[in-house]
Amino acid sequence: MASTVIPFGPQHPVLPEPLHFKLKIEEETVVDAIPAVGFVHRGLEGLVSKKDFIQMTQVVERVCGICSAMHGMCYCMGIEELMGIEVPKKASFLRIVWTELHRIHSHLLWFGLYADSFGFESLFMEFWKIREKIMDINEATAGSRIIISVNVIGGVKRDISPEHRQWILSTLDEVEERLKRLEKVIYEDFTIRKRTVGIGILSKEKAYELGASGPMARGSGLDIDARSLGYGCFSELDWEPIVEYGGDCYSRAKVRFREMLQSIGLIRQAFQKMPRDEEICVKFNGRPEGEVISRVEQPRGECLYYIKGNGTKNLERCRIRTPSFANFPPIMSMLIGCRLADVPVIILSMDPCISCTER
């Protein structure tokens, strides 16, 4: 039978980002999917030769606007390990607070786009309304809504005052209450179940083979979470990675929903265990030398930085492997054999971040 090629993107209403796929189609079934990348490639890793290693903190935060705090944290952790800097305990807890806030707002953003992908416009608006609460916290504590630039080498730039702490906790209570109200919609709504249950199945073996990471892997029953390495002060907090076993779009959404509630709990714990009246940033001397690999868990999965310094102010190499990049092979295998109408839902279930993938 003759097959048709349908171009999906780069400018399309499903995602704000220029993602391009060539979908080879026989009747209604996708038989092959070819991704075309490069629309957002900036050549950011090359900037190491032009900016010094302290300025690079600001550059890596702009790899991706949605998870910028995690990128900054991962880079700073790598440099601190290279130079043997001991980060104050309070700074580690503050980093947890900000990164978990970023995780919540990223997942809320994703839920909005996810609802939009199957045409549930009012749910999209509802999730983004909740997200603005988190944005307000970011703006009040760090001065900016999205790229908050709080991480510096040796600690964090700002402290959270006791009044702000109270306000953040009460806002998070409100967010949790609103999320609980939407829980039933995501889990039980007839339309959502029809569009997501059993769609885009990724088995546990396949997820492991193709190197899926983050909610993609955890939705398929793989217990992989870089936070369980205990970086920062995660080892002192009481939590467990969230795993679902369905392997379809529905399970991945469930993982993300439970993670949001978990992140609220983690922030509460971090505030409880945070030491009071301590310094938040240490001074340091010297320049980085040697090589290091630093890993953190982002909303989309595990992010890896390979940093190589040669004793000068410019680094020799800074290689970034982002979770969306790792999640492309699984999505290719999921698209083959699905119906054309399910393509947007399946692609969105991976939470694609093109500016991360292409840098």
Which residues, 79 to 118, sit near another protein by CB under 8 A?
A: 109, 112
CA distance 355 to 64: 6
Q: Which is nearer to another protein, 72 or 200 (CB)?
A: 72
**Contact status: 68 vs another protein (CB under 8 A):** yes
CB of residue 31 to another protein, shortest distance in Å: 26
Residue (of 51, 95, 94, 58) closest to 73 by Cα position? 95
Candidates 45-53, 151-159, 166-174, 279-287; binding stretch for another protein (CB under 8 A): 45-53
**Selected range binding another protein among 120-128, 221-229, 264-272, 310-318, rule: CB under 8 A:** 120-128
Task: Evaluate whether 39 touches 15 at the Cβ level (below 8 Å).
Answer: no
- Please give the full DSSP string across 106-171, using - where no structure is assigned: HHHHHHHHHHHHTT-HHHHHHHHHHHHHHHHHHHHHHS-SS----EETTEES----HHHHHHHHHH
Closest CA to 202 of 225, 214, 220, 223: 220
CA distance 25 to 132: 40
Q: In the complex with another protein, which residue's Cβ is closer, 58 or 171?
A: 58
Q: Which of 5, 7, 26, 38 binds another protein (CB under 8 A)?
A: 38
24 or 62, CB closer to another protein?
Answer: 62
Size of the site for another protein (CB under 8 A): 39
From CA 144, how far away is CA 154, in angstroms rounded? Answer: 21
Q: What is the largest CA-CA distance in the chain?
A: 72
**216, 215, 213, 223: which is closest to 202 by C-alpha?**
216
What's the chain's Rg over C-alpha atoms?
Answer: 21
Q: Which of 24, 62, 89, 165 binds another protein (CB under 8 A)?
A: 62
Name the minimum Å distance from CB 19 to another protein: 10
Q: Does 7 bind another protein (CB under 8 A)?
A: no
Q: Which stretch binds another protein (CB under 8 A): 130-138, 187-195, 201-209, 305-313?
A: 130-138
Which part of the chain contacts another protein (CB under 8 A), choosing from 15-23, 92-100, 268-276, 304-312?
15-23
User: From CA 307, how far away is CA 287, in angstroms rounded?
Assistant: 13
Q: Is 128 in the site for another protein (CB under 8 A)?
A: yes
Taking CB under 8 A as the binding criterion, the range among 77-85, 141-149, 207-215, 312-320 that sits at the site for another protein is 141-149
- The contact set with another protein (CB under 8 A) reads 10-13, 16-18, 38-44, 46-47, 50, 58-59, 62-66, 68, 109, 112, 124-125, 128-129, 131-132, 135, 145-147, 353, 355
